Structure 1
Amino acid sequence: MSVLVVFDIDGTLTDTVSLHRKAFHEVLISFGLPGLGSEIKEYKHHTDSNIFKEIYTSFKSDWDEKVSKKFEEELAQNIKEKFQKGISEISGAKIFLEKLRSAMIPFAYATGSFYEPAFLKLKDCGLPLDVPLATASSFYERESIVQSAVEESSKKYSKSFSKTICFGDGIWDSKTARNLGLEFIGITEDPKLHSEWKDQNIHHVFRDYSDDLSVLSAVLSFRTGKRI
């Protein structure tokens, strides 16, 4: 059975959720817009491109893709400046990706972030940059982002995949996997979310990748069809 692993980035591989949210809020303000709402769920799609468009078009009438590109560039610059204080990977992420490669299990990235900020985070944390990276720069919906990552992976690895496993840290990640009929492994320190996922029969949830062998076993269980 040929398996592909698709990773979200913020909160799943890089410890950058708060940093990204703060930068996004600040750049919205610099565009003369209200900042982010207190609840991300109030937006139709949990992606940078959609959230920015929703907010922008609610207050201004001159929307076009050039505006979105300018916002992405300023967001990337704001985030890069925040890197001066240092950012971290989710514990064990780099080693875990190396273990996937050693096991010859292909992987890709699919993120609700714009491309440039996502690339900067991966690079700063020393994570592999030579794998497919699908982002909100090309799509508004998370489902389309994940589908793009799978399609680009088929081209890169010259194979089709009988099973795709998504890693994510948010409820939107598990919903996306469910909507696409894909498998899911959760990465979270939030006990409430951990419990919610368990109630949804998501059997593999980890705080991080510190116990890399257990996380790898979870991936392999999907390949063999044996639940652990």
Structure 2
Amino acid sequence: MLDAVIFDFDGIIVDTEPLHYKAFQEILVPLGLGYSWEEYLETYMGFDDRDAFREAFKVAGRSLSDTELKKMMEEKAEAFLRIVAGGVAPYPGVVELIRSISGNLPLALCSGALRSDIDPILTQLGLTDAFDTLVTADEVAASKPDPESYRVAVQRLQALYPGMIDASRGIAIEDTPAGIASATGAGLKVLAVTNSYPEERLSSAWRVVNSLAGIDLEGLRLLP
């Protein structure tokens, strides 16, 4: 039985990671804190913006005040919006899967991105009203792999659909080890997609697939 589905955003709905990387570098390189794409994939990709900046300063042995952090997050958000204004393509099959679930099963989005990063892209994809609730980095104190964001998503769905949702009968769709740990910690099963990491790095997930293309709501329900 499947009670609910919760999607990650970056790396599942759209491939915005190269765009986030570019936006981060616009802010960090002038400060002497830039890093390579490989370092981003290995260290920073699972963080939300707040913790990604903190980690960059920590690695460099430099302090970062809350005021400086807030300013850099705002500058990075502005840079990201400039970059995505040219349009972003979704991963194959994901828009169709979301539309097959929306209105037929409780559906949420749980992302380490800021709401201001997500909304313009959902609008571009025609998914503005597809989700029952969205949980973003603006709303939680701890980023993935901490389970807080997924716990909040489950709690919100449970409030919207009283008595209908058990976390153990929900599926999170993720692409990173940090995301898998977060969703698993909230009691969800995880369907991982190899959009960002090879299958062996996603082995802690319940199931791993190479693509969401061709999968609809009934396909999710029939996963072995």
Please confirm whether the aligned pair reaches a TM-score higher than 0.5, indicating the same fold: yes
The residue type paired with residue 144 of structure 1 is E
Give the AA of the match of 1:212: I
2:218 counterpart residue number: 217
Task: Provide the C-alpha distance between the structure 2 equivalents of 1:44 and 1:79, rounded to a whole number of angstroms.
Answer: 15
Give the residue type in structure 2 aligned to 1:141. Answer: S
Tell me how far apart the structure 2 counterparts of residues 44 and 139 of structure 1 sit (CA, whole Å): 18
2: distance between equivalents of 1:201 and 1:47? 21
Aligned to 2:151: 147
Partner Cα separation in structure 2 for residue 26 and residue 41 of structure 1: 19
The share of aligned pairs that are identical, in percent, is: 23
SS at match of 1:89: coil
Using the TM superposition, give the Cα deviation of residue 112 of structure 1 relative to its aligned residue in structure 2, in angstroms: 1.5
Per-residue deviation, residues 82-132 of structure 1 (Å, max 9, x unmatched): 124321111222221111025x11111111112211223222322234532
Structure 1 segment 1-228 matched on structure 2, within 5 A: 3-30=3-30, 32=31, 34-36=33-35, 38-42=39-43, 46-56=47-57, 60-61=62-63, 63-64=65-66, 66-102=67-103, 104-129=104-129, 131-137=132-138, 138-142=140-144, 143-162=147-166, 163-189=169-195, 193-197=198-202, 199-200=203-204, 202-208=206-212, 210-213=213-216, 216-221=217-222, 228=224
Whether the aligned pair in 2 keeps the contact of 1:33 and 1:55 (CA below 8 Å) is no
The alpha-carbon distance between structure 1 residues 189 and 83, as it changes in their structure 2 partners (threshold 3 A), is closer
Distance 1:62 1:73, change over 3 A: closer
Q: TM-score, normalised by structure 2?
A: 0.80
Secondary structure in structure 2 of the residue aligned to 1:109: strand
Once residues 201 and 61 of structure 1 are traced to their aligned partners in structure 2, the CA distance between those partners, rounded to angstroms, is 36
In the TM superposition, residue 43 of structure 1 has moved relative to its aligned partner by 5.9
> In 1, Cα distance between the equivalents of 2:171 and 2:20?
25
> Structure 1 regions of 5+ residues with no counterpart?
222-226
Residue matched to 1:224: none
Distance in 2 between residues matched to 1:70 and 1:157, nearest whole Å: 38
Aligned-partner Cα distance in 2 for 1:92–1:44: 23
Q: CA RMSD in A?
A: 2.9
Q: What SS is found at the alignment partner of 2:198? A: helix
Query: Deviations for 1:28-79, whole angstroms, at most 9, x for unmatched residues?
Result: 335x250246155546962222121233466554512x44433332222211
Q: Structure 1 residue 165: deviation in Å? A: 0.8
Gaps of 5+ in 2: none
